[in-house]
Structure 1
Amino acid sequence: MPHRPLARALGALVAVLTSVTGAVLVPGTAQAATVNYVALGDSYSSGVGAGPYDLSGCLRSQKSYAPLWAAANAVTSFRFPACGGAVTADVINEQVSSLSTSTTLVTITIGGNDAGFADVMTTCRFGSTSSCTNAVNNAKSFATTTLPGRLDATYAAIRNRAPNARLIVLGYPRLFETTYCGLFAMSTYKRTILNEAADVLAGVIAARAAAAGATFADTRPYFAGHGVCASDPWIRDVTGVIEAYHPDADGYRYGYLPALNAVTR
C-alpha cells in the first residue's frame, strides 16, 4: 500500500487540528458560528420612534437596530428585553435575567434616562433659555459624577450573567442641526448646548465601556446632517409626545444599524 505513510501523516494532522480547534473542517463546508444575541437597554434600543410597537408596554419595534441586525445575520437565537424608559437599575433588576453563559453577543444603550434626558428636553423645548442652561448643566454634572458608577455596575452585571459574550455599548446621537429651523423651533443656542451635552454623555459612556472591556459604537458620525432641523431628519421633533427626540425608522436603519455593523464585521 504505497499511500499508507501519507494516510498516516494526514490522520496525524487531522488529530492535531482536532485537538487545537475542537472540530474537523471537511473540504467544501464551513461551520456556522453560533450567535446567541440579547439586546438590552432603553428606548433607543427598543426602537421608540420607529413603530409599530408590540404589546409589552416597552414600545419595542421590529424596526429597531437590534432586530434588524439579528435578521440580517441569521442569529441562532435573539432575545429583546430592551424597554423604553429604562434606567441602569432596570437593566440590572429586570433585563440581565435574559442573559446566560450561552449568550455570545450583548448590545445596550443606557444612561440617558439616568441623566434626566426627557426632563431636559422638555425644559429646553418649552422653557426659558436660562432654565434650559441650568437643566443641561445639571445633566452634564450628573453624567460626569454619578453616571460612571451606575454604568460600571450595569456592565459588571452583564459580565456576571454572560461571561462568554461580547458586549457592545452603543452611544446616543447628537439630536440637532444648528442651522436656521423656523420661528417656532428651539433657538440655535439651546440646540448647541444640547448637542454639547450629548458629546459629554458619549464621552462618559465610551470611557466606562472601555474600562469594562466592551466595544463602544459611536452613533454620532452616522447621524451627522440628519438631526432635527435637517432637510432629511432621522430624529423626531415634538410631533409625537412619546416619540419626540428619538430616531425614526430611518434613524435606526441608516444610523444605528451601520454603527453596529461597523464594529461587528
Structure 2
Amino acid sequence: MLLATALLATLGLAFGWVAVGPADGAGAVVVTGKGDKPGKPGGGGGGGGGGTTELEYAAVGDSFAAGVGARSYLESTCYTSAKGYPKLLDAEADLRLVALPACSGASTAEVIAGQVPAVPTTATRVTLTVGGNDVGFAAVMQNCFVIVTSSCESTILSGEALVANGTVTANVAAAVQAVRARVPGAKVIVTGYPLLFHLPNARYQWAERVNQGTVALNDAIEAAAAANQAVFVDVEGAFAGHGIGSSIPWINDWNWFRYVDGFHPTATGYVAYATEIRKAIG
C-alpha cells in the first residue's frame, strides 16, 4: 500500500494530479521558436532585412498544447515537447513561434493568470487547448484506468456535471476573452480533444463512458469558441480509428515506465493535430 501511494504521488507530479496554482504557470519556462529559419534572413514577424512575412504565433493551454506524449521534452516542469503541435507549426515557413507557455496540468484559470500574460502583444495567431483539467482529466485517468477505484464513477459524474451546467463553456470563454484582451487583433484558434479509446475496448471498462464525455466536452469548448469569435478545430475525425486499443494508436496507452506519456497523443498524433490547426490558422 505504501508503495502504491508513493507511485501515485510521483505520477501526480508528472500528470498534474497535484494542484498547480497560477504562480506555477507564471513561472514556467517560455519556449520560443528558432532564431532564424532557413531562407528567412533575420527571422521574426516582419523584422530583419529579409522581408519575411512570418506570422507571430503563441500557444497556450494544458498538456495537449505542451505536447505531452510526444517525448523529446524540452524541460521537465511543463513537459513541453519539440514534437508537439506548436513546434510543428513553428516549422512552417510562414509561422514563427514566439511563446509557448502551455503547461501540463493547467486549468483555464491557470492559463488566464499564468500563461496569457506571457503572450507577446505582437502575436497575430494564438492557439488554445484547455478544459480537460477543469473536468478532472487526471483524476479520471487515475481512478478509472491506472488503478481502478471506487471513486471512478463519482469523478466522471463530477466532470459531466461541469459540462452540463455550462461551467466549462464559461471557463473556456473566459480564457478566450483573456487572450483577446492581451492581443485584440490576433486570430484565436481553440482546439478540442481526441477520443482516447478505440471501441469496443476489452481492456478498459470505462472507455466508452469517457469517450462520450469527451464528445460533450468538445461541444462545450466549441460553444465557447463560437460565442467569442474564435475558430474551433475539431480533431475527433482526424484521430478516428487511432485510439487506444486500435491497430495503429495515436494515443499512448498507460505504461508505468513512461507514465508521463499515458493517455496523451503520440508524436504521430501531434502531426494530426498540427495538420488540422494548419487548416484554420490562415
How high is the TM-score relative to the length of structure 2? 0.76
Residues 76, 202 of structure 1: alpha-carbon distance in 2 compared, 3 angstrom cutoff = closer
Per-residue CA deviations over 1:206-251 (Å, capped at 9, x if unaligned) read 0001111000000100000000000010101111322210001111
Query: In 1, Cα distance between the equivalents of 2:151 and 2:54?
Result: 51
Partner residue, 2:214: 198
Per-residue CA deviations over 1:183-217 (Å, capped at 9, x if unaligned) read xx212xx1111100000000000000111100000
Of 235, 239, 259, the residue aligned with 1:223 is 239
Conservation of the 8 A alpha-carbon contact between 1:38 and 1:98: no
Partner residue, 1:259: 276
Whether 2:263 is the aligned partner of 1:245: answer yes
TM-superposed deviation, 1:76:
4.3
Residues 74, 122 of structure 1: alpha-carbon distance in 2 compared, 3 angstrom cutoff = same
Per-residue CA deviations over 1:75-118 (Å, capped at 9, x if unaligned) read 24521111111111111111111224321000010010111001
Moved over 4 A (4+): none
Whether 2:178 is the aligned partner of 1:160: answer no
Of 59, 62, 67, the residue aligned with 1:39 is 59
Partner residue, 2:228: 212
Structure 1: stretches of 5+ with no match in the other structure: 1-30
Conservation of the 8 A alpha-carbon contact between 1:44 and 1:109: yes
Partner residue, 1:49: 69
Conservation of the 8 A alpha-carbon contact between 1:107 and 1:168: yes
Query: In 2, Cα distance between the equivalents of 1:73 and 1:138?
Result: 43
Conservation of the 8 A alpha-carbon contact between 2:125 and 2:281: no
Partner residue, 2:170: 149
Per-residue CA deviations over 1:7-28 (Å, capped at 9, x if unaligned) read xxxxxxxxxxxxxxxxxxxxxx
Conservation of the 8 A alpha-carbon contact between 2:54 and 2:93: no
Query: In 2, Cα distance between the equivalents of 1:134 and 1:248?
Result: 29
Conservation of the 8 A alpha-carbon contact between 1:45 and 1:66: yes
Query: In 1, Cα distance between the equivalents of 2:91 and 2:234?
Result: 22
Aligned partner of residue 90 in structure 2, secondary structure: helix
TM-superposed deviation, 1:34:
4.1
Conservation of the 8 A alpha-carbon contact between 1:101 and 1:164: no
Query: In 2, Cα distance between the equivalents of 1:173 and 1:78?
Result: 26
Q: What amino acid sits opposite 1:207 in the alignment?
A: A
Query: In 2, Cα distance between the equivalents of 1:75 and 1:230?
Result: 33
Q: What amino acid sits opposite 2:196 in the alignment?
A: L
The 5 A counterparts of 1:61-210 are 61-125=81-145, 126-127=147-148, 131-145=151-165, 146-181=167-202, 185-187=203-205, 190-210=206-226
Aligned partner of residue 260 in structure 2, secondary structure: coil
Residues 34, 196 of structure 1: alpha-carbon distance in 2 compared, 3 angstrom cutoff = same
Total equivalences in the alignment: 228
Query: In 1, Cα distance between the equivalents of 2:98 and 2:71?
Result: 19
Query: In 2, Cα distance between the equivalents of 1:133 and 1:77?
Result: 40
Aligned partner of residue 52 in structure 1, secondary structure: coil
Query: In 1, Cα distance between the equivalents of 2:189 and 2:201?
Result: 35
TM-superposed deviation, 1:142:
1.1
Aligned partner of residue 59 in structure 2, secondary structure: strand
Percent identity over paired residues: 38
Query: In 1, Cα distance between the equivalents of 2:235 and 2:97?
Result: 25
Partner residue, 1:7: none
TM-superposed deviation, 1:264:
2.8
Residues 77, 84 of structure 1: alpha-carbon distance in 2 compared, 3 angstrom cutoff = closer
Aligned partner of residue 38 in structure 1, secondary structure: strand
Conservation of the 8 A alpha-carbon contact between 2:86 and 2:97: no
